[in-house]
Amino acid sequence: MPDEYTLTAYDQWFFDKGYQDPITLEPFRGGDNVVVCADCKMPHLVSSWEYNGGCASPVKHTRTIPFNRSLFERRRLNVTDRIRQELQEWYFGKEFFDAWKRIFDFKGRSRRKDYGMFLLYSLIGGFAMRFFLIIFFGNNEGVKIIYLIIHLLVFLPPQYSLTVRRLHDIGHSGWGIIIFFIPLINCMLSLYLMIRGGQHGINRWGANPKEIH
Ligand SMILES: [Zn+2]
């Protein structure tokens, strides 16, 4: 198949990374024929890819990309390089807008950073909005209602799918979101979702978003 690549002894750097085929769960070896998913950059055995009709991710990826060392380089970056790279891509409000863009995505995964930063922006935005509303219109019932409406229209809608995606990322069903309707428990769960790291590799909801770039 196109983009198929046969691993050789020259690809020791690749073996050193410890990848395994997501279907057979066997580590790759010299002589293996591999393809790389264009969407999640996960390497697969050609036989697994063909057997599965595409990538092992449940979000069906069917495109491949030529095997290239640079595809896997990012995962080798140390912490400081990783932070530098993240900062280059960052702009104020990024995670907030990203959450809105993915508002109907109830099937994927989201990182701790996406979740935590979204909540932080909501907090900052909420305070700022309340502050200006009170300055311009005074602290009255009308302002409280306007604030509540803005909150319901701007900050709340993307939270549902984002929470579901964060639950997926740590390996739980999205139905866990039901717990968020219990007061106090929801605060603890929210904190947990900010702290708990995602599962490595591919799980039922796709590849680890932190490892894809
Ligand atoms: Zn894929």
CA of 5 to the centre of ligand 1 (A): 17
pLDDT of 82 reads 78
Distance of CA 154 to the CA centre of its chain: 21
Residue type, 54: G
Residues 6+ apart with CB under 8 A from 105: 161, 165
Residue 161: predicted pLDDT:
97
Residues in the chain: 213
Report which residue type is found at 118.
Answer: F
Residue 36, H or E segment? strand 33-37
Does residue 181 come out as left (phi exceeding 0), alpha (psi in the -120 to 50 range) or beta?
Answer: alpha
CA distance 168 to 198: 8
Q: How many angstroms is it from 43 CA to the middle of ligand 1?
A: 9
Query: Would you say 74 and 91 are in contact if contact means Cβ atoms under 8 Å apart?
Result: no
CA of 39 to the centre of ligand 1 (A): 5
Q: Tell how far CA 68 is from the center of its chain.
A: 23
**pLDDT value of position 174:** 95
- Label each residue of 71-89 as H, E or C: HHHHHHCCHHHHHHHHHHH
Q: Distance, CA 44 to ligand 1 centroid (Å)?
A: 9
pLDDT tens profile 104-161? 999 999 999 999 999 999 999 999 999 999 999 988 999 999 999 999 999 999 999 9
pLDDT at residue 35, rounded to an integer: 96
- DSSP reduced 3-state for 157: helix
DSSP 130: H
**How close is the Cα of 199 to the center of ligand 1, in Å?**
16
The CA 93 to ligand 1 mean position distance, Å, reads 28
| Cα(206) to centroid(ligand 1), Å | 7
The pLDDT of residue 74: 62
**What pTM was estimated for this model as a whole?**
0.74
pLDDT given at position 173? 94
Distance 72 CA to ligand 1 centre (A): 14
Domain boundaries, the chain: 5-76, 90-207
Q: By CB neighbour count within 10 A (0-12 exposed, 13-18 middle, 19+ buried), where does 110 fall? A: buried
Dist. CA 95–CA 36, nearest whole Å: 28
pLDDT in the model for residue 77: 64
Q: 158 - beta bridge partners?
A: none
Give me the residues of the chain with pLDDT under 70, please. Answer: 74-77, 212-213
Ligand 1 centre to CA of 36 (Å) is 8
CA of 51 to the centre of ligand 1 (A): 14
Cα of 61 vs centre of ligand 1, distance in Å, is 5
